[in-house]
Amino acid sequence: MSACAKRCKHGLVKFAVSVHKLVTGTLIKDKVDDDLEMTMVCHRPEGLDQLEAQTNFSKRELQVLYRGFKNECPSGVVNEETFKQIYSQFFPHGDASTYAHYLFNAFDSAHTGSIKFEDFVTALSILLRGSTREKLQWTFNLYDINRDGYINKEEMTDIVRAIYDMMGKYTYPVLKTDAPKQHVDTFFQKMDKNRDGVVTLDEFILSCQEDENIMRSLQLFENVI
């Protein structure tokens, strides 16, 4: 019965609206689309030579990277929404938006809200051609969400949960709800040397350098470009 009443009410509202339109004489039915095209923020990167000097890429590699970047973002900048969409496409199983958010902040070191080509290339240079220490420092910055120089358990849990979200629902073995938490506990046991509840950059780098699995894996990503 309530559905009927709702429908009646809806009908009355529609009638009142139409009477109002009648009186005010709206002849135009479609709403004016005043979605003016916002002035395209166009950004041109610094010169090729400068970028070559600043990063560890060669000119050719920079050219390849820029062509891809420019094709995706003709305006020269990536905002967070686009970034999330792009990143989510690589992980169709689950929800990659949270992790993409953290990743975006890690790339956008200046916190401008958009990634320019220079940010993009700088980060890639560190990740692919940087020294071990630089790579680990980048990773530390990724985990340290609030950039206070310490990783505490909450930040780590957020990151780990975001990573587990990317796995989606259909996994083997079945994902238990406390899996992220367990993972974080294991991590802290390994990394937090002085057991003060937070991990500093030095603790982090030291622990990673002791773990040869991590060291070996770091070398794997050299030839990505």
Partner 1 sequence: MAAGVATWLPFARAAAVGWLPLAKKTMPKPPVDKKSRNDEILIVNVSGLRFQTWKNTLDRYPDTLLGSSEKEFFYNEDTQEYFFDRDPEMFRHILNFYRTGKLHYPRQECIQAFDEELAFYGIVPDIIGDCCMEEYRDRKKENQERLSEDTEAEMATDTPLPPNSTPRERLWRAFENPHTSTMALVFYYVTGFFIAVSVIANVVETVPCRPIKGSVKDLPCGEKYSVAFFCLDTACVLIFTFEYLMRLFAAPNRCKFMRSVMSVIDVVAIMPYYIGLVMPENEDVSGAFVTLRVFRVFRIFKFSRHSQGLRILGYTLKSCASELGFLLFSLTMAIIIFATVMFYAEKGTKGTNFTSIPAAFWYTIVTMTTLGYGDMVPNTIAGKIFGSICSLSGVLVIALPVPVIVSNFSRIYHQNQRADKMRAQQKVRLARIRLAKKGTTNAFLRYKEEGGLQDHDSDSAALCLKNRSSFEHQHHHLLHCLEKTTNHEFTDELTYSEMCMTESVGYRTSRSTSLSSQQAVSSSCCPRRAKRRAIRLANSTVSVSRGSVQELDTLQVQKSSIGPQSRSSLNARTEDLKLNCEQRDYTAAIISIPTPPANTPDESLPPSPAVPGILRNSRTTSYTQEAVKISSL
Residues of span 146-205 touching partner 1 by CB under 8 A: 159-160, 163-164, 166-175, 179, 183, 186-187, 191, 204
> By three-state DSSP, how is residue 178 classified?
coil
Which range binds partner 1 by CB under 8 A, 8-16, 37-45, 46-54, 89-97?
Answer: 89-97
Handedness of CA 80, 81, 87, 88 (dihedral sign): positive
Beta carbon nearer to partner 1, 77 or 204: 204
Which range binds partner 1 by CB under 8 A, 8-16, 35-43, 49-57, 213-221?
Answer: 213-221
- Alpha-carbon separation of residue 95 from 87, 101, 163, 177, 216 (angstroms): 10, 11, 9, 16, 29
Which range binds partner 1 by CB under 8 A, 8-16, 20-28, 35-43, 48-56?
Answer: 20-28
Amino acid at 171: T
Q: Residue 79's beta-bridge partner residues? A: 114
Query: Which 38-57 residues touch partner 1, going by CB under 8 A?
Result: none
Give the nearest distance from C-beta 186 to partner 1 in angstroms: 8
**Among 29, 31, 111, 195, contact with partner 1 (rule: CB under 8 A):** 29
Query: Which 58-87 residues touch partner 1, going by CB under 8 A?
Result: 60, 63-65, 67-69, 71-72, 86-87
CB atoms within 10 A of CB 120: 20
Contacts of 102 (CB under 8 A, 6+ apart): 142, 145, 158, 159, 162
Which range binds partner 1 by CB under 8 A, 8-16, 32-40, 41-49, 212-220?
Answer: 212-220
What's the token pair of residue 190?
A: 């390994």
The rounded distance, in Å, linking the Cα atoms of 170 and 124 is 31
Give the nearest distance from C-beta 196 to partner 1 in angstroms: 18
- Give me the count of residues in the chain: 225
Give the nearest distance from C-beta 213 to partner 1 in angstroms: 5
Which helix (H) or strand (E) is 161 found in, with range? helix 153-167
Give the nearest distance from C-beta 50 to partner 1 in angstroms: 20
Give the nearest distance from C-beta 47 to partner 1 in angstroms: 20
